[in-house]
Structure 1
């Protein structure tokens, strides 16, 4: 939209079918199409939040609405810092972000502060914005699945969680305030596609980085030598859905080995790993299994879990990569997931 909402007021914003407003309407239609194809939209504005959101809520000719925006940041901080905040919420690389701004000074500040971000140098004439941007082909997506449909809402919910964490005095208070509810089950047919997708896409919280197809997942489901776990989580802001996958393989009469342990980075620092391990050990104890083993296979992207097994009180065996946990002496971890 053209104009400055804080100075011009809602009635003087340039949007619609007349004059220069047509150019901004076309830009918004284009952005809406990108969003519908899985591109994440975020707003980074120097303004009071209530004023900045006003057109998205109250202007009849706005194509984009608040529900289309994954992260909406409006304050008087510099835009480079706000972009860093947006990047943390989205948990994507700066090299996957494009910053579009009609102010040359703001573009230059962002270029200098965060060189990994793509910052198109827009033409002076707003009527040329859309042809220029479409010619750059910055937003070509390789694939888009049904599971990606909920991403905008998920990021909106994550932004609300980020606001909450700034209002509490310590992490325990924050985790309690989230009012988290979890469920753990064996693999179910309705989740096969999502489980396979997690094994294919997860790179950071991935203990061994084994990739599996849907057929592989079905084999694990039907195997007598494997235990399977799918973990779901929700809190007072929304439903994360299926966020962790664990596959155990029976390697001897009293030993199970962690073939796969994957978790979505969206739920890092929520104590999900403690919640899951408590359940796993409880199940193994009921089966009279004495030992749970695991290993960390390093990749270029999974250093996040390099110390996971040690953090979970596994002991490293001598001259080996294998870690072991005695289920008989295991002490359940504290967490705040109900």
Structure 2
């Protein structure tokens, strides 16, 4: 996108939004106007003749108390009248419109009832005034004035807000009134407007499957146990999300899939689940495999003859979102909320589509894209090694014990795909199995820059003479191919040395779902005969280079 000049006017620090705009805009000249001088800044802008070779934008992001002295007095419990507040907003709008006349575009977030005020939304202060009613009335005034404006674009913050969007420590120490997720969301809305203006609106949505189009992990839960449909609140939310996507598809937006799953199993679920709204025919392309998602998305773009700047990627996993956003900065990667009940409002709030074409053109849009000339190749994808290193992964290993037993058994019994034997155990049977002094069970927990993932893998083995034989090896599908498997093998190497063992063996027991484990073992091990593997102990004597720390905990619950 072309270079721009961006001025910011606020009663709080909003500069982080500039950082989130940079992936969409090649160069930004940023002018941070005087802090908490909202009206004076607008007066200065209105008296400045625009003489800028690049578009000059204004992000005017203010709270109501910064433009209405009467509302500020109301917050202190002083007598106040709604009519006086509205008169002050009208005066503020006059200054805003004068400034807008000298600028290319003004972006105006609507007012919110901010937690820093410490108000209950429905309590009445100073007579009969209610905070929520004041904010709603103020926003109605702005909507009536500017919903059809060509120079002032309103931004609704409500879909971006979540329970912890305000951090009091950041407010009092740095005057940051919003979380990073809010700044990113506002940047996405600004960039969406600019893309539409430049004729580069988003044309395709690439979707994950597990916990995105439905609830649950298909490979572990099975189609029949997916959370989808009217039998549960979240199941209904996933179904409504699919309905929203279907409406977009009918208006010409291309849908595609990028999921780490078994393709045949995933397509069967899509085509046969009773509560699926979308079918295989609704997706123009898909990559359902265990490969890197950034690479898959680039292949999908080539197949559809779309530029990467035309794509949106929706995935519930923050690690996968980070991978795609860092490798393919032209792709829009919104932060999906943790709660699927907010998926529809999040998607609806992305003002990134241009529906000005006729319905006939919409229905033919996929074919038209395939006939377009290939777009220019985007920047080179970051390597997998670079991305893995950026995750700052920390590995913690601990023997099976009271504090991790419940999660260990749960993971052991529900993991189907990356599971060597799919052995199922209860707490009692596992303890009985461990009574043999030559057997051990270990759990692996993971932490990265996004936070703690908890126990994500398990390992069981027994010693026979000079051999360690693996009885259990299972890894959550959410951490496939991130080096967790190699870390388990490194632990085995260390344990083999402690036990004076020279060889590590494993026997794969095939099921309908655990072929990914077999494929991984064939890559990591020597297959001496069908399904029988042997690993020289020196092969994994060192850790993968991207693991930032590796901790083996002591065998107690202290």
What band does the TM-score fall into relative to the shorter chain? 0.5 to 0.7
Could you say which residue in structure 1 is the equivalent of 2:442? 229
Higher-Rg member (1/2): 2
Q: Which runs of 5+ in 2 are unaligned?
A: 1-106, 112-120, 123-153, 164-178, 193-200, 229-237, 258-269, 279-315, 330-380, 550-558
Do 1:274 and 1:335's aligned partners in 2 also have CA atoms closer than 8 Å?
no
- Pick one of 299, 318, 325 that aligns with 1:163: 325
Q: SS of the counterpart of 1:317?
A: strand
- Pick one of 472, 490, 494 that aligns with 1:278: 490
- Pick one of 277, 280, 289 that aligns with 1:119: 277
Do 2:489 and 2:540's aligned partners in 1 also have CA atoms closer than 8 Å?
no
How many angstroms apart in 2 are the aligned matches of 1:110 and 1:85?
22
Could you say which residue in structure 1 is the equivalent of 2:545? 335
Q: Deviations over 1:114-154 (max 9, x none)?
A: 8647239xxxxxxxxxxxxxxxxxxxxxxxxxxxxxxxxx8
The alpha-carbon distance between structure 1 residues 163 and 188, as it changes in their structure 2 partners (threshold 3 A), is farther
Do 2:211 and 2:217's aligned partners in 1 also have CA atoms closer than 8 Å?
no
Could you say which residue in structure 2 is the equivalent of 1:189? 402
2:290 maps to 1:77: no
CA shift at 1:58, angstroms? 5.8
How many angstroms apart in 2 are the aligned matches of 1:205 and 1:226?
21
CA shift at 1:165, angstroms? 4.6
The alpha-carbon distance between structure 1 residues 82 and 253, as it changes in their structure 2 partners (threshold 3 A), is closer
- Alpha-carbon RMSD across the aligned residues, in angstroms, is 4.5
Q: SS of the counterpart of 1:247?
A: strand
Q: SS of the counterpart of 1:223?
A: coil
Q: SS of the counterpart of 1:81?
A: strand
The alpha-carbon distance between structure 1 residues 246 and 57, as it changes in their structure 2 partners (threshold 3 A), is same
Greater relative contact order (CA < 8 Å, ≥ 6 in sequence) = 1
How many angstroms apart in 2 are the aligned matches of 1:227 and 1:106?
53
Q: TM-score, normalised by structure 2?
A: 0.39
The within-5 A match list for 1:82-231 is 82=207, 87=212, 92-93=217-218, 96=228, 97-100=238-241, 101=243, 105-106=247-248, 108=250, 116=271, 118-119=276-277, 155-156=317-318, 159-166=321-328, 169-231=382-444
2:157 maps to 1:54: yes
The alpha-carbon distance between structure 1 residues 164 and 259, as it changes in their structure 2 partners (threshold 3 A), is same
CA shift at 1:183, angstroms? 1.0
Q: Which runs of 5+ in 1 are unaligned?
A: 1-6, 18-50, 61-65, 121-153
Do 1:195 and 1:217's aligned partners in 2 also have CA atoms closer than 8 Å?
no
Moved over 6 A (4+): 72-75, 88-91, 109-114
